[in-house]
Amino acid sequence: MRPIACNRRNFANRLTMPSKRYIAHSQSFANTIGSFHPGRSRFLVFLITLCFLGLAIRAIWIAGPGNAFYQQQGDLRVRRQLDVPPTRGRILDRNGHTLAQSLPAGAIYLSPRQMVSSDKYTGLAEALGMPLTEIEAASASDRGFVYLRRQTDAATLEQVKTLALPGVGTVREFKRVYPSGPPFDALLGLVNLDGIGIEGLELALNDRLKGARGRSVVEKDRLGNILSQLVIAEAEDGGDIHLSIDERLQTATYQALQQASETVKARSSLAVVTDVKTGEILAAASWHADSSKRRAAALIDAFEPGSIIKPLIVAGALELKRVAPDTLIETNGRFDFAGAKITDVRNFGQLSVAGVIEKSSNIGMVKIVSRLSPDELWTHMHALGFGRKADSFPFPGLGSGRMHSARGMTPITQATMAYGYGLTASALQIAQAYAAIGNRGQLIPLTLERRPAGSETRGTQVLTPATAEAVLAMLERVTGAGGSGRQARVNEYRVGGKTGTAYLHVPGRGYDKKRYRASFAGVAPLSAPEIAVVVSVEDPSEGSHFGGKVAAPIFAQIVSRAMQLRHVVPDAPPAEANIAR
């Protein structure tokens, strides 16, 4: 076999010389390109140019007019606008003691979209004292924000922050607290979790207490950590409100009600104390055997007052000069009137008008009221505040009671009104009327807010001073040795008032002759009256049910405490040891 001759020149020529196949393919491609129609080439160039132009226009839009939209979308991912809650105003008693205030707290929330595996949140469940399953359920929400715990204490908040878990955050809020406890529960009411009043004075005064929310913008990283915060509008804190209530007297009144009511196994009880000169309500306490019932009965409940209405009816007859304190009235124990039989607890014989009040004679009262026309009776009672809401007195549920119109009165309804049936009134209305008697016949509008020191309080003259003085003298006889209210007496102070015992009316069944309301209303001290007090105990079921035995001792305890707190100089010599101190 002949060897192939090979040298460097031949080898180089072979490497640089294109193959016949390569030359053929190149010529084919050139022919193909050359075969394109010029219009097709231009169309291809046009399409490419159009695409680049569209991209350029899009870029200009994003950088120009459309920038705000994309900026907003970006901000939504890293920025959030938050409400800044204001501090709700405090509620203070007349001496500046705090009755309600808002303390700093916080809420713990989840952002489900930012959360990671649920097993990372075991520490959070332990810190909050809740099952991990609850956190897992919250994380499954399609909302971007879910509360886990509201109004959390500072220690728990700090513990949660230390965990630094993705999707877990805290926001500032406040927790409302009531340091004075049960004596104020029904009066003050409640706020909801957002700090808005929903009951009692919290609701009535909400607009002044709530303040105005502020706004801030926060920037967060992808784990939800706050990187920066910008305040847009400062929160405006709510205003403080000074009540006319004396915290010490309110507590003493509540405790007196509770102790007496538990002793006689009553269903509920209430008491109101007012300043006769200013109309300020110094105490308004409500007690109920069922502690879950938060009802400000002292302010809103209307009831048939029974015999505590009698001095007010007599005041009208005195004012119109139909009777005088010494006018004699025949009471024979039984009296037929307009087809009804009116009775007394016993035959008192002949009594003066003052004696009718002292002995609480129903027959004497019917004979006195019959000397007034329906229109005269209605006008007098309406002037004293019955059948209408208290003037300028904001409280949810406050009613006007019920009283027959003059046209709707019959002889028998007029007669029953004389001893406290057939009309209803709240303890507030009764206290205001008694305060007018203690204030020389001037009716002062009631208020739950402290009046400015030295301010002049104007009222309406509904009785002459002479009539008011005459009624006060009758009230003192009730608490004297021969009266039904002896247990209302207070050591070293002259007091006057009226007992009342009424059957309870059961809807659909009429009056239950085995269930009662025991009441007492009066003023003190008689030499220069400062306060009017109304006490009423509903359905005492053990022991006595009479107003003089159940409600009068409560009145004595309240007055005794009020005289001490107000530093009232005694106006009577010390008496027996069994009188309230």
Claim to verify: residue 91 and residue 232 sit in the same structural domain: yes
User: What is residue 472's three-state secondary structure?
Assistant: helix
At 577, is the pLDDT very low, low, confident or very high (cuts 50, 70, 90)?
A: very low
Residues 205 and 137 placed together within one structural domain of the fold: yes
- 157: which 2 tokens? 């908040």
Is residue 181 domain-shared with residue 298, that is, in the same domain?
Answer: no
Residue 7 lies in a domain: no
What is the 3-class SS of 340-368, one letter each residue?
EEEECCCCCEEEEHHHHHHHCCHHHHHHH
Structural domain containing residue 204: 86-242
Asked whether residue 230 falls in the same domain as residue 257, the answer is no
Question: Rounded to the nearest 5 degrees, what angle is found at the Cα of 506, between the Cα atoms of 505 and 507?
Answer: 115
**Tokens 């606008």 — which residue?**
81
DSSP string, 146-170: EEEEEEE-HHHHHHHHHH--TTEEE
CA distance 362 to 360: 6
In a shared domain, residues 237 and 260: no
Cα-Cα end-to-end distance for the chain: 149
Phi, then psi, of 66 in degrees rounded to 5: -85, 0
Does residue 3 belong to any structural domain of this protein? no
Residue bearing tokens 């890293």 = 78
Tell me, yes or no, whether 166 and 103 share the same domain. Answer: yes
- Domain boundary at 221, 242, 263, which? 242
The pLDDT of residue 35 is 56
Q: What is the pLDDT of residue 30?
A: 54
> Could you report the per-residue pLDDT of 495-527, keeping only the tens digit for each?
999 999 999 998 888 999 999 999 999 999 999
Are 309 and 427 members of one domain? yes
CA distance 304 to 324: 27
| Residue reference for tokens 């009698």 | 310
390 shares its domain with 513: yes
Output the average pLDDT for the chain: 86
| Exposure string for 257-285, b = 16+ CB within 10 A, e = fewer | bbebbeebebbbbbbbbbbbbbbbbbbbb
- State whether 179 and 279 are in the same domain: no
Q: What is the Cα–Cα distance from 335 to 330, expressed in whole angstroms?
A: 10
Q: Average the pLDDT over 331-349 and give the result.
A: 88
Distances (CA, A) of 358 to 288, 364, 511, 542, 566: 31, 11, 26, 26, 29
pLDDT of residue 360: 94
**392 and 297 share one domain:** yes
Is pLDDT of 331 > 70?
yes
Are 286 and 270 within 8 A, CB to CB?
A: yes
The residue count of the chain comes to 581
Half-sphere exposure of 395 (CA within 13 A, CB side): 27
What per-residue confidence (pLDDT) applies to 228?
A: 58
Are 393 and 522 in the same domain? yes
11-25, 34-48, 202-216, 309-323: range with lowest mean pLDDT: 11-25
Per annotation, catalytic residue among 102, 268, 307, 426: 307
Residue 97, domain member (yes or no): yes
**What digits encode the pLDDT tens for the residues 263-316?**
999 999 999 999 999 999 999 999 999 988 888 999 999 999 999 999 999 999
Q: Which of 225, 242, 259 is the last residue of a domain?
A: 242
**Domains in the chain: how many in total?**
2
233 lies in the same domain as 169? yes
Q: Which two tokens stand for residue 352?
A: 């003066």
Q: How many other CB atoms are found less than 10 A from the CB of residue 20?
A: 7
307 is catalytic: yes
| Chosen domain end from 242, 265, 289 | 242
Q: Does residue 550 contact residue 262 with C-beta atoms inside 8 Å? A: no
CATH number reported for the structural domain that contains residue 278 in this entry: 3.40.710.10
Q: What is the pLDDT of residues 446-491, one digit of tens each?
A: 999 999 988 888 899 999 999 999 999 999 999 999 899 999 999 9
Strand pairing of 241-242 and 91-92? parallel
236 secondary structure, DSSP code: B
Give a yes or no: residue 42 inside a domain: no
Cα separations (Å) of 540 from 262, 266, 556?
A: 9, 4, 19
| Overall average pLDDT of the 145-173 stretch | 84
Q: Is residue 75 part of a domain?
A: no
User: Looking at residue 231, which CATH number applies to its domain?
Assistant: 3.90.1310.10
Q: Is residue 172 part of a domain?
A: yes
Does 10 reside within a domain? no
Residue 347 belongs to some domain of the structure:
no
SS3 of 39-64: the string is HHHHHHHHHHHHHHHHHHHHHHHHHC
pLDDT digits (tens, 9 = 90+) for 343-394: 998 899 999 999 999 999 999 999 999 999 999 999 999 999 999 876 567 7
